[in-house]
Structure 1
Amino acid sequence: MAESFTTTQQQFASYIRDPENTALPKGIEQRRMAIYRDLFFNNFDSTLSTAFPVIKQLHSPDEWQTLVRDFMIQHRCQTPLFVEISKEFISYLKTEWQGDKERPFMPELAHYEWVELGLNIAEAEWSLSQIDQNVDLMTLAYSASPLAWLCIYEYPVQLITTDFQPTDKAEQPVCMMVYRDAQFQIKFTQLNAMSARLFELISNGMTPVDAVTELSEAIPHLSSQAIYNGATGLIRDWVNKGNLHII
């Protein structure tokens, strides 16, 4: 009985994923299976449409439905939580999606669109470190807030529309600070490469002074003092926004 039930489950799931190329489960009439087939597809379609509105706009209705169906056929989700389906879609685009030369940016664009949802459902609580005005911020140690994500992309994902679909990577990496603030709003801030590297270094335990030294060696055409002054302002701003926590 257990084997028969397991077999039926597998047939049921296979048909829902790929009804055009899979036989109906034995003993279940087509009318009933059509209800489940359409229900599952429509739920996936609705979830992905909400999470990835730009990607959907880039495709015709038929192309979009084909993409959703291919995701259902090719990808094996690693979570039973429906809210995680959009994250699984990113994994699909990185691994199973065959892609096309006209839209090589798709995996990165999907991640860029997903981060807002990712931060919205993050369980971490927002918190703020108090700044002692008598303490030099450049002498302290920091950790990144779990609600502040540094995202680095090879394509200009923030500019992609139906009228702009780049096939070439950007000349410089696109660095985005995405964070959730005290009002539960998701904010996007574009950083230059030096600012992004500074955040990366100090959030991984390096002191700001040592980070400035490393940046000065990597960017010799800028004076150490200019980098130091810029870093001081950035760190104060990140701490005030809750993006960095004083350890």
Structure 2
Amino acid sequence: MADSLREQQLRMAGHIRDPQANPPPPGIEARRLAVYRQLFFGNLQSLLAGSFPVLHASLAAEQWQALSEDFYANHRCHTPLFTEVGGEWVEYLQARTDQPGWVAELAHYEWIETALLLSDAAETEHDPEGDLLDGVPLLSSLAVPLAYAWPVSHIGPDHLPNGTPVAPTLLLAHRGAGHKVSFSRLAPLAHALLVALQDQPLSGREHLAALAEVIGIEVAVIEAQGLALLHALRAQGVVLGTRRG
């Protein structure tokens, strides 16, 4: 019995993804199948190279080719949208534990900019003039605290890391006015506070008390500094104000 149209499509898709592991469907010239593969795989490579230019330039051509071929053949994307393929590439690289650790981190660092640029997340209702100590400070959905083991902001084809640094790279990615995404370095206290704001709806005073306990100091020692930091973050649009209700 002849294969159904669906079976033929699946055989063709499997062959185009990985011609070494999947035989071609009958009745189609190998030359034509090669054209299809070149078209589809070439589009994917162009998309990845354009979305991850630093990673593409930093990897050897053979390494990039092998990774992109394996991604194309074996990773099952959960989205049909081209704009979300970058997130799938990051997920794929995070699972490739055979690669140097900086590879997945650099990919994530490059991807987060695109993710923020394309984000249409709505902000939670808030009071922009709320009390940042007694109220619950609200972090913008367009602000993301980041922590990397590798110095991702300095990696490039001429600056490949030799070993994991002692201190992590702490960054804030933020989409501000004009849809411009910026990255800034964070001190450990600022990073810890932003992560806490992201994770728990506590008052500013409670957040600072929790940080003081972790550090092992009196809350009065960091309260003034912490409040000044919250006000600065609000001025930058990173903290929107305080939650309502």
Question: Is TM more than 0.5 here?
Answer: yes
Residues 38 and 225 of structure 1, relative CA distance in 2, 3 Å threshold: same
State the distance in 2 between where 1:187 and 1:98 align.
29
- Asked if the contact 2:126–2:138 (Cα under 8 Å) also holds between the matched residues in 1, the reply is no
Identity %: 32
State the distance in 2 between where 1:110 and 1:46 align.
15
Matched residue SS, 1:183 = helix
1:54-203 → structure 2 map (5 Å cutoff): 54-95=54-95, 97=96, 99-100=98-99, 103-124=100-121, 131-132=128-129, 136-203=131-198
Residues 74-128 of structure 1: CA deviation (Å, up to 9, x unaligned): 2111111111111111111122x3534xx22211111111001111111125799
- Asked if the contact 1:129–1:239 (Cα under 8 Å) also holds between the matched residues in 2, the reply is no
Once the two structures are TM-superposed, the CA of residue 195 in structure 1 deviates from its matched residue by: 0.8
1:23 aligned onto 2:20: no
Matched residue SS, 2:80 = coil
Residues 207 and 98 of structure 1, relative CA distance in 2, 3 Å threshold: closer
Residues 55 and 2 of structure 1, relative CA distance in 2, 3 Å threshold: farther
Once the two structures are TM-superposed, the CA of residue 31 in structure 1 deviates from its matched residue by: 2.7
TM-score, normalised to structure 1's length? 0.87
Residues 165-193 of structure 1: CA deviation (Å, up to 9, x unaligned): 33533323322111111210001111122
Once the two structures are TM-superposed, the CA of residue 147 in structure 1 deviates from its matched residue by: 0.9
State the distance in 1 between where 2:226 and 2:128 align.
16
State the distance in 1 between where 2:73 and 2:22 align.
11
Amino acid at match of 2:105: E
State the distance in 2 between where 1:152 and 1:21 align.
39
- 2:227 alignment partner in structure 1: 232
- Asked if the contact 1:150–1:177 (Cα under 8 Å) also holds between the matched residues in 2, the reply is yes
Once the two structures are TM-superposed, the CA of residue 22 in structure 1 deviates from its matched residue by: 2.9
Tell me whether 2-11 or 155-164 shows the greater mean CA deviation: 2-11
Residues 29 and 90 of structure 1, relative CA distance in 2, 3 Å threshold: same
Tell me whether 60-69 or 121-130 shows the greater mean CA deviation: 121-130
Once the two structures are TM-superposed, the CA of residue 215 in structure 1 deviates from its matched residue by: 1.8
Tell me whether 163-172 or 199-208 shows the greater mean CA deviation: 163-172
State the distance in 2 between where 1:117 and 1:186 align.
9
1:208 aligned onto 2:191: no
Matched residue SS, 2:179 = coil
- 2:7 alignment partner in structure 1: 7
Residues 208 and 136 of structure 1, relative CA distance in 2, 3 Å threshold: same
Once the two structures are TM-superposed, the CA of residue 218 in structure 1 deviates from its matched residue by: 2.4
Matched residue SS, 1:137 = coil
Tell me whether 225-234 or 36-45 shows the greater mean CA deviation: 225-234
Residues 25 and 161 of structure 1, relative CA distance in 2, 3 Å threshold: same
What count of residue pairs does the alignment treat as equivalent? 241
- Asked if the contact 2:49–2:56 (Cα under 8 Å) also holds between the matched residues in 1, the reply is yes
Structure 1 unaligned segments of length 5 or more: list them: none
State the distance in 2 between where 1:139 and 1:88 align.
40
TM-score, normalised to structure 2's length? 0.88
